[in-house]
Amino acid sequence: MSSRLSFAPVAALCAAAFLLLTSTGCQEVPVTGRSAVSLVDDKDITEKALVEFEQIKSMQRLSRNPAQMRIVHQIGSRLSRTVFWDVPHAEWEFVVFEAPGVLNAFAMPGGKVGVFSGLIDFCENEDQLASVLAHEIAHVAARHTHEKYSQGMLLKPLGTAASIGVGMSTGSTGIYLPSVGSAVGSGATSLTQSAFDRGKELEADHIGLIYMAKAGYDPRESLRLLQRMEEHIASQGGPTSNGWFANHPGFPERQIQINERMPEAMAIYEKGETQQTHTVIE
Ligand SMILES: [Zn+2]
What is residue 158's predicted lDDT score, i.e. its pLDDT? Answer: 35
Measured in Å, residue 201 CA sits from the centre of ligand 1 at 5
User: How far is Cα of residue 38 from the mean position of the Cα atoms in its chain?
Assistant: 17
Measured in Å, residue 8 CA sits from the centre of ligand 1 at 37
Q: For 246, left (φ over 0), alpha (ψ -120 to 50), or beta?
A: alpha
What is residue 172's predicted lDDT score, i.e. its pLDDT? Answer: 43
Assess contact for 239 and 233: CB atoms under 8 A.
Answer: yes
Measured in Å, residue 131 CA sits from the centre of ligand 1 at 11
- State the average pLDDT for the chain: 77
Measured in Å, residue 247 CA sits from the centre of ligand 1 at 8
The partner residues of 251 in beta bridges, in order of sequence, read none
72 vs 20, residue with greater confidence: 72
Phi, psi of 95 (to 5 degrees): -120, 135
Residue 178, classified by CB atoms within 10 Å of its CB into exposed (0-12), middle (13-18) or buried (19+), is buried
111 vs 23, residue with greater confidence: 111
What is residue 99's predicted lDDT score, i.e. its pLDDT? Answer: 92
Measured in Å, residue 141 CA sits from the centre of ligand 1 at 12
- Residue-wise pLDDT for 104-151, tens only, equals 899 999 999 999 999 999 999 999 999 999 999 999 999 988 887 777
178 vs 46, residue with greater confidence: 46
Q: What secondary structure letter does DSSP report for 280?
A: B
pLDDT > 90? residue 20: no
Phi, psi of 208 (to 5 degrees): -60, -40
Sheet of 105-108: strand order equals 93-97, 112-116, 105-108
**H or E stretch at 105:** strand 105-108
Measured in Å, residue 14 CA sits from the centre of ligand 1 at 30
Q: Coil, helix or strand for 270?
A: helix
Measured in Å, residue 9 CA sits from the centre of ligand 1 at 34
Measured in Å, residue 190 CA sits from the centre of ligand 1 at 14
What's the predicted TM-score (pTM) here?
0.78
Percent of the chain scored above 70 by pLDDT?
A: 70
Residues with CB under 5 A from ligand 1 (ion): 175, 201, 204
> If we measure between CA atoms, which residue out of 161, 165, 146, 171 comes closest to residue 87?
146
Amino acid identity at 206: H
Measured in Å, residue 67 CA sits from the centre of ligand 1 at 26
Measured in Å, residue 138 CA sits from the centre of ligand 1 at 8
